[in-house]
Structure 1
Amino acid sequence: MGIIKINNIKLYAYHGCLEEEAKIGSDYRVDVAIKADLKKSAQSDVLAHTVDYVHLNHIVKQEMAIRSELLEVVAQRILDRFFQELSMIQKAKVSVSKINPPMGGNVEEVVIILTKKR
């Protein structure tokens, strides 16, 4: 078993419950960690034998572009797509962070973390 991580995927999106969030948008960060059997790819040096992190990043970008009120929904969509499209994944963790959320205070970020396993 091995782990593939993609850290600090930076995106601009329009998630949130407030009307201004739908209009103005905000900065987001997504971190991904997946567990899969990487023994074969570690020996073969063949992309088809591993989880393509370009594909993971593509899924994150597509799902972050779909507006949702709750970050939990976005994170769940990302996880669901990972498991639908990449059969090698055994477990995945997705963190979606809203940078400088409009909370009426000095808050650096709000983070939602979801995990899923086969």
Structure 2
Amino acid sequence: MGIIRLNNIKVYAYHGCMREEGMIGSDYRVDLKVWADLTEASVSDQLEDTVDYVHLNKIVKEEMAIRSKLLEEVCQRILNRALDELSMVTKAKVEVSKLNPPINGDVHAVSVELTKKR
């Protein structure tokens, strides 16, 4: 079993419950971790024998572009697609962080993290 991580994917998106968040948008950080059997790829050195992290990044970018009120829904969509589209992935964990959230306080980020297995 192996792990592939995409760390600190930076995205500008329009998630949130407030109407203004849908109009103004905000900076987000996404971290994605997937588990897969990487044994064959470690021997063959062929892209088709591993999980393509370009595909994972595409999933993150596309799902972050779809407005949601809750980060929980965004996380679930990312996980669903990773498991649906990449058959080698046996487990995935995603963390979506809204940077400088519009809350009454000095908070660098709020994050939601979800994990899903096959």
- The two structures have a TM-score, normalised by structure 1, of 0.99
- Partners in 1 of 2:52 and 2:85 — Cα distance? 11
Deviations 1:11-66 (A, max 9, x none): 00000000110010000000000000000000000000000000000000000000
Q: Distance in 2 between matches of 1:100 and 1:20?
A: 15
Distance (whole Å) between structure 2 residues aligned to residue 64 and residue 112 of structure 1: 14
3-state SS in 2 of match to 1:27: strand
Alpha-carbon RMSD across the aligned residues, in angstroms, is 0.4
> Aligned runs of 1:33-112 on 2, under 5 Å?
33-112=33-112
C-alpha distance in structure 2 between counterparts of 1:113 and 1:44, whole Å: 33
**SS at 2:48's partner residue?**
helix
Superposition deviation, residue 105 in structure 1 = 0.9
> Aligned pair 1:15/2:12, yes or no?
no
Aligned residues: 118
Task: Report % sequence identity.
Answer: 66
Structure 1 segments (4+ residues) deviating >2 Å: none
Q: Shift of residue 68 of structure 1?
A: 0.2
Report the TM-score, using the length of structure 2 for normalisation: 0.99
In structure 2, distance between residues paired with 1:46 and 1:92: 22
